[in-house]
Structure 1
């Protein structure tokens, strides 16, 4: 007799608008959320591309006042988030608009939650700790990787090296606007790293040991991999391909919806110390440990990977069982290499002597490690880092 589907909860962004050129509809879309000043959160690099000027022009042509905060840093520290929220309060903004990569979107989420003044940032850390209302919030991604536009998660760098998460449905925006034209100028190495990051989201969501792993997340993860498996290398080698860019952006969003409800696990837990200690971009950190974590998991939990393998690499359907799971891990490493990403920790200037510290720090990510399909100890983490070295 078949087992019934266990209870689950699925939350996502209220409205998703997708399509080339949709940035031109921004003023109309925001008008349905709020009519006062728009507080736009972004980073200096994106402002230099002209995308921010274009968004500002669309809004100002519609009579909207726009205040731009463009000091977001990668892996944003608390100081940046607090500075942004102070600026938003001073501007009397009626809506927060995040435009950029995952860091800008994460900052925008927290600004929207902080401006009403119900809590301090430190009170929000953890799962389900955001209380009260937030400002209306719209997010526009310019990379196909984090899926932050549809996740209830913001990651903050606390202190010199540690990261902490704010996880709450309150952070889900009112609107996600996905315009693949905005990703056309993304450099190949960023396209590759963010693309692998999105694939990790789908893979870990599908395999998650979370009690909230659910059929919707698994369905979205499969569709995400179907799209991105065909598009990533094309997007890296031909950055002007709008069809590849569109598939990557849509796939990234679907993967974001998947892991927002069926959370990620040890790949992310082992990636975070790499970013904290060595400032390696998050997507690349994931890529460096991905095949090694999956090989560890596949020893006792191969089934998710055998099920996913043909969706990403159709020719692997001819294999079965452990052979297919093992080939899946190898092909993921091969895809990362084909995209031009470094494959070894030593290539990033990491000293082997630091590996025990990385393993110890990875154990601080228990909110992620509990979702891993195979239990993982500090000794296991060290062996994985050594395999990746």
Structure 2
């Protein structure tokens, strides 16, 4: 066995209705702190979904500053403005409450707020954070990104380029999974984030770098939970059992890829989101089958092992099981009725070359792919997805 390192959050709380007693949960773990920053988005704040959590925080003596201007694919200025706001409030602890973007911004705030020695621009890349951070808690409201348990934060730099900050300082002290927060999530968001989580597990299991037995175990369990519950969660937004399974599956997938990193699906998805502002999960779903077909010659044995989990009825050679896996995923995506081609999300054919060029900048991800990807390969995959 190769040597490996596995890191994840030290404490994970899984409890239906945990948001309703968030104040006491945080008080138990952080008894001496009082000034809390909640990082979320405007829709969640206005919807009232957070009201029970905010009420319980107040009841347990938390002086809460809510920053609710996070948007999808958050640009640098959102992070920097939120940092200034939180710094002025003198916050002592940061809570990311929302989707992946809110949790990603929360990670960076926890690092940026208490110091001014290192700026955000110097943190992009792998292991470039040189400072400590404030205590950090993450609480997802979608079952997809896995950001609650990863050491990654994605920021949009300039008009369209997505950059990652990857460092162990971004791993939260506490992650809280409350599936009640995901009840009623719209079908499109449920499907896209669920497929995103499945991509995390698939790419972690087949990563060319840092693949390890713990990530493999988590990826397999994640795919079992996600593949068996995604359509049920889409069909019935208030199916508690399906929602709980999806949320736990997404976290397991996050733990898997946090230690055995994702690859070409994500590398090719980033330009779709960065240039055309397509949600991240949907961007992944649009290219997933086509990347799997491209990788099949190099990863058939691993894909066959995943087929045993997702399509247990598949038989025959590794190649035939791989084809069954891809076909099943295509059918699942179709059943959710989310878009399945690039043209359906407003991408024009003359934009494919720019996306292929931009995808090549994602070297941090491409080096993990089981098969090398050239710019011509990326263009061919986009063309197939068009």
Same fold (TM over 0.5): yes
The runs of 5 or more residues in structure 1 that have no matched partner are none
The structural deviation recorded for 1:274 is 0.4
Counterpart-to-counterpart distance in 1, 2:38 and 2:145: 19
Q: Deviations over 1:197-249 (max 9, x none)?
A: 00000000000001x11000000000000111110000001111000000000
Decide whether the 8 Å contact of 1:41 with 1:70 is kept in 2.
Answer: yes
Map 1:11-160 → 2, pairs under 5 A: 11-31=7-27, 32-33=29-30, 34-117=32-115, 118-160=117-159
The structural deviation recorded for 1:133 is 1.2
Map 1:246-285 → 2, pairs under 5 A: 246-285=244-283
- 2:351 maps to what in 1? 354
Decide whether the 8 Å contact of 2:34 with 2:61 is kept in 1.
Answer: no
Q: Deviations over 1:24-56 (max 9, x none)?
A: 332222222252211110001111221222211
- 2:299 maps to what in 1? 301
- 1:332 maps to what in 2? 329
Decide whether the 8 Å contact of 2:24 with 2:56 is kept in 1.
Answer: no
- 1:193 maps to what in 2? 192
Counterpart-to-counterpart distance in 2, 1:361 and 1:252: 27
TM-score, normalised on structure 1? 0.97
Counterpart-to-counterpart distance in 1, 2:348 and 2:22: 47
The structural deviation recorded for 1:313 is 1.9
Map 1:376-387 → 2, pairs under 5 A: 376-387=373-384
- 2:169 maps to what in 1? 170
Q: Deviations over 1:96-120 (max 9, x none)?
A: 0110000000000000000121310
- 3-state DSSP of counterpart to 2:50: helix
1:6 maps to 2:5: no
**Number of residue-to-residue matches in the alignment:** 383
- 3-state DSSP of counterpart to 1:165: strand
- 3-state DSSP of counterpart to 1:376: coil
Counterpart-to-counterpart distance in 2, 1:80 and 1:248: 29
Counterpart-to-counterpart distance in 2, 1:122 and 1:256: 25
The structural deviation recorded for 1:284 is 0.3
- 3-state DSSP of counterpart to 2:97: strand
- 2:243 maps to what in 1? 245
Counterpart-to-counterpart distance in 2, 1:25 and 1:214: 36
Counterpart-to-counterpart distance in 2, 1:297 and 1:10: 26
User: Alpha carbon RMSD of aligned pairs, Å?
Assistant: 0.9
The structural deviation recorded for 1:333 is 1.1
Decide whether the 8 Å contact of 1:145 with 1:194 is kept in 2.
Answer: yes
The structural deviation recorded for 1:342 is 0.8
- 3-state DSSP of counterpart to 1:309: helix
Counterpart-to-counterpart distance in 1, 2:47 and 2:211: 39
Counterpart-to-counterpart distance in 2, 1:196 and 1:248: 10
Counterpart-to-counterpart distance in 1, 2:49 and 2:186: 15
1:388 maps to 2:375: no
**Which aligned segments of 4 or more residues in structure 1 are displaced greater than 6 angstroms?**
none
Counterpart-to-counterpart distance in 1, 2:167 and 2:130: 9
- 3-state DSSP of counterpart to 1:92: coil
Decide whether the 8 Å contact of 1:229 with 1:313 is kept in 2.
Answer: no
The structural deviation recorded for 1:321 is 1.5
